[in-house]
C-alpha cells in the first residue's frame, strides 16, 4: 500500500497594521524626549555661559581660577587689589599689548596668523610657543587652570569667543591688567605696583611698565624687583615696540 504525502501549507500571519502603529506610538515619546533634551542643552549651555561671563563686564571679579589655585597650593600669601582702568598708567596698557598681543585692538579674540606660525614651528620640530591673545589669557586666568590638553584649549577658545562678544576691548584689557600674575602670589597691577615697585598704579613709568610686561610669561621665575639681564633686555625690546606702535595713543580707540 502506497502512502501519499500530503503537502502542508505553512501559514505566516501578515503584519498587523494596528501593532505597527502601536510600536510607532511607543517609539515617538522616546524620540521626542531626546529631541527636547538636545534643545534644552542648546539653550542651557549658552545661557549658563552668559551668566558666567556677562557680570564681569561691570563687576570686578572677586577671585579667579588662578588666584584660587594659588591659595590652595601655596602657603605664601596672595595679593590681589582691583584698580579701575582710569587709575592705571597708560604706560602699562600699551606695554602689555606690545609684549603680549600687538593685534589686540583689531582681532576678535584670536590671532590666526600667530597660531598658524606656532603650529608650523611645531611641525618643523621647534618648541611649541604660545600664540594666546590677551582675550584668551583673560579666559584662562578667570575660569581655567594651567595646562595644554585639547579639552582645556577648546574650553578656553569657547570662553574667549563669549568674552569678545559680551565685553568691549577696553574692559578685556582692564581685567587682564588686574588679574595677570606679575610675581609669586602677586595678581594685578594694584598689588604689583604697591609691592614690587612701591608706586601707585597711576605713577608707573614707561620703564616700570616694560619690566612688568616683561615678566608676564613666567612671573614666578622672572622678578620685577630684581630683573635679570634677560628681563632688562626684554623690557628694552618692549619699549621699542611701544614706540613703534605710537605709544599709549595706539589704544585711544578702545
At 147 the pLDDT is: 74
**pLDDT the model gives residue 29:** 74
Mean pLDDT per 10-residue segment, the chain (254 residues): 49 54 58 79 88 97 96 94 97 97 94 75 56 93 86 93 97 98 97 97 98 96 95 98 95 90
Question: Is 164 in the same domain as 105?
Answer: yes
**Which of 58, 85, 110 corresponds to the end of one domain?**
58
**Bridge partners, 160 (sequence order):** none
If asked whether residues 129 and 29 sit together in one domain, one would say: no
Distance of CA 159 to the CA centre of its chain: 6
| Rounded-to-integer distance, Cα 131 and Cα 113, Å | 9
Residues forming beta bridges with residue 79, ordered by sequence position: 186
Task: Indicate the DSSP class of residue 57.
Answer: G
Judgement on whether residues 111 and 210 belong to the same structural domain of the protein: yes
197 and 214 assigned to the same domain: yes
Find out whether 209 and 91 touch, Cβ atoms under 8 Å.
Answer: yes
**Residue 6 falls within a domain, yes or no?**
no
Q: For residue 218, what pLDDT is reported?
A: 94
Domain count, the chain: 2
Which range of residues forms the domain containing residue 102? 60-251
CATH of the domain at 105: 1.10.3810.10
Cα–Cα distance for residue pair 142/174, rounded to 1 Å? 13
- Per DSSP, helices labelled H in the chain are 17-53, 65-73, 90-100, 112-123, 134-143, 150-166, 169-179, 188-192, 206-214, 229-245
State residue 119's pLDDT score: 66
* Global pTM value: 0.83
* CB contact set of 211 (below 8 Å; sequence gap of 6+): 224, 227, 231, 232, 235
Q: Tell me the pairing of strands 186-187 and 79-80.
A: parallel
Same domain for 46 and 70, yes or no, is no
DSSP letter (8 states) at residue 127: P
> pLDDT value at position 3?
47
CB atoms within 10 A of CB 244: 11
76 shares a domain with 26: no
Amino acid at each position: 500500500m502506497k502512502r501519499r504525502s500530503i503537502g502542508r501549507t505553512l501559514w505566516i500571519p501578515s503584519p498587523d497594521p494596528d501593532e505597527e502603529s502601536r510600536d510607532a506610538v511607543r517609539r515617538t515619546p522616546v524620540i521626542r524626549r531626546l529631541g527636547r533634551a538636545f534643545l534644552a542643552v542648546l539653550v542651557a549651555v549658552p545661557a549658563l555661559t552668559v551668566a558666567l561671563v556677562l557680570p564681569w563686564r561691570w563687576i570686578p571679579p572677586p577671585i579667579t581660577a588662578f588666584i584660587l589655585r594659588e591659595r590652595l597650593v601655596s602657603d605664601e600669601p596672595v595679593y590681589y587689589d582691583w584698580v579701575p582702568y582710569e587709575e592705571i598708567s597708560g604706560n602699562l596698557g600699551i606695554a602689555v599689548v606690545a609684549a603680549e598681543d600687538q593685534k589686540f585692538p583689531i582681532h576678535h579674540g584670536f590671532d590666526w596668523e600667530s597660531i598658524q606660525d606656532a603650529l608650523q614651528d611645531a611641525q618643523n620640530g621647534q618648541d611649541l610657543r604660545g600664540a594666546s591673545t590677551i582675550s584668551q589669557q583673560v579666559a584662562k586666568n578667570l575660569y581655567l587652570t594651567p595646562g595644554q590638553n585639547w579639552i582645556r584649549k577648546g574650553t578656553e577658545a569657547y570662553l574667549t569667543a563669549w568674552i569678545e562678544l559680551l565685553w568691549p576691548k577696553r574692559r578685556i584689557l582692564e581685567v587682564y591688567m588686574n588679574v595677570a600674575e606679575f610675581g609669586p602670589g602677586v595678581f594685578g597691577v594694584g598689588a604689583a605696583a604697591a609691592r614690587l615697585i612701591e608706586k601707585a598704579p597711576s605713577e608707573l613709568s614707561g620703564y616700570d611698565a616694560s619690566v612688568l610686561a616683561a615678566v608676564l610669561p613666567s612671573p614666578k621665575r622672572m622678578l620685577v624687583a630684581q630683573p635679570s639681564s634677560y628681563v632688562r633686555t626684554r623690557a628694552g625690546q618692549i619699549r621699542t615696540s611701544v614706540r613703534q606702535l605710537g605709544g599709549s595713543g595706539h589704544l585711544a580707540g578702545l
